[in-house]
Amino acid sequence: MGQIKINNLDIQAGANSICSNIIFSIPKNTVATIAGDLESGRHELVDAILGYIRPTNGTILIDSEEIQTLPVNKRKFVCINQDWSLFPHLNVRQHIEFGLAFHKLEKGEAQQRVDRILQVLGLAEKQNLLPTHMNYLEQFKTVIGRAAAIEPNLVVMREPFMSFDGHKKRQLAGLFRELQSEFKFSALISTDNPLDTMGISEQLIIMSKGYIEQVGPTREVYDYPSSMLVAQMTGEINVLQGQVVMGGDFYMFTTKVGGINLKCKEKLRIETQVDILIRPEHSKLVPLGKTADARNVFSAKIRRIDFMGGFEFVELATEDNTTFLSVQNAEQGFQVGDDIDVILTRDDYTIRKR
């Protein structure tokens, strides 16, 4: 169970390039999410990692051992598909034993391993249940137990929670994280909606048109998206269009909502046109005129308020009728139609040249 490294991987179908120059790693015992649409190359990349297709260039390593030429059954990788692939005629214990049947373990050792997994899963008293008599949490525990039984180098999950509603998705994601930590395996979750699994992933890999758009720690990718595509895939985003009017430690930008002072990692010329990407929760609403000494403030009117789980998603109309979304604590007490001031609470938003 070492670190998984993907180095300069290329995948082709005939003369067509599917993926190019793919580079990332999954540290030992961590969870990564890889996300992208049907044309991103994500599916083919995951197939190459699993050994279902052969890359045309590059390497796949477990620590320092190259495995890209190994057959599927020699990699100790487990794939969990969207439907979980439980066998209707096997009970909990038999599912966990299933994977071990293809690995040469002494009978006593295999028995002890299955017993330990059943205890960790909390299913020792339910080991004779068939899938039709299990609830969805027990089914999921069985799936993870079956995967963990072979002590895999990597568990790949394809859209594992797609069939469930929001509450069950959160339950299953939390359960997966708990069991992954207990069994200590590395995992790669493949999805077209990273919002389902960002909360349980240390690393996020966003793909587009055969390339990696951005890879990094999940919070870093969320807070500092490298492109509009990444920003939109990972959550709600506001875009303020601006122009550089002054440089220095803090750049001054003119925007339709007024002047804004921000740090910028990249040096920008005066009059450069930019997009400033702002997450809704990186703003604060206060009553009109109650901003004290805050900088980066603009006025707006509340157009709509949606209450969601203790938070209010507040849709604002700025003075030039630009729409701006802010997420606030539900105790703020604002009403539709209120005139308010918006304080931008960070000074290091992502700034992209236009």
Domain final position from 204, 233, 262: 233
Q: Which of 236, 319, 320 is nearest to 280 (CA)?
A: 236
202 and 243 share a domain? Answer: no
Total number of domains constituting the chain = 2
Question: What percent of the chain clears pLDDT 70, i.e. is strictly above it?
Answer: 100
183 and 289 part of one domain: no
123 and 243 within one domain:
no
Q: What's the rounded mean pLDDT across residues 34-61?
A: 96
Q: Could you read off the pLDDT of 299-337 as tens digits, one per residue?
A: 999 999 998 878 899 999 998 888 999 999 877 788 999
- What DSSP letter does each residue of 236-274 carry, written as one string? --EEEEEEEEE-SSSEEEEETTEEEEE--SS---TT-EE
Instruction: Tell me 76's DSSP state.
Output: T
Single residue among 179, 203, 233 that ends a domain in this structure: 233
Check residue 265 and give its pLDDT. 84
- 336 and 307 fall within a common domain: yes
pLDDT at 103: 76
Domain residues for the domain of 332 are 238-353
Residue 63, Ramachandran bin (φ over 0: left; ψ between -120 and 50: alpha; else beta): left
Sheet holding 323-329, edge to edge: 283-287, 339-344, 297-308, 311-318, 323-329
Residue 8 sits in the same domain as residue 82: yes
Residues 209 and 317 in one domain: no
The alpha-helical segments, DSSP class H, found in the chain are: 42-50, 92-100, 107-121, 136-148, 166-183, 218-223, 228-233
If asked whether residues 260 and 175 sit together in one domain, one would say no
Q: How many Å apart are CA 261 and CA 117, to the nearest integer?
A: 55
| Environment class of 149 (CB within 10 Å of its CB; exposed 0-12, middle 13-18, buried 19+) | buried
Domain-ending residue, one of 184, 199, 233: 233
Please report how many Cα atoms fall inside a 13 Å half-sphere around the Cα of residue 48, on the Cβ side: 27
Question: Does 243 lie in the same domain as 296?
Answer: yes
Question: 82 and 162 in contact (C-beta within 8 Å)?
Answer: yes
Residue 41's CATH number: 3.40.50.300
Contact 77, 128 (CB under 8 A): no
Same domain, 142 and 258: no
The model's confidence at residue 275, banded by pLDDT at 50, 70 and 90, is very high
314 and 256 housed in the same domain: yes
Model's pTM, two decimal places?
Answer: 0.91
52 pLDDT band (50/70/90 cuts)? Answer: very high
Give me the pLDDT at residue 108, please. Answer: 84
State whether 69 and 93 are in the same domain: yes
Task: Quick: pLDDT tens for 97-148.
Answer: 987 887 777 788 889 999 999 999 999 999 999 999 999 999 999 999 999 9
Q: What are phi and psi of 337, to 5 degrees?
A: 95, -10
155 shares a domain with 93: yes
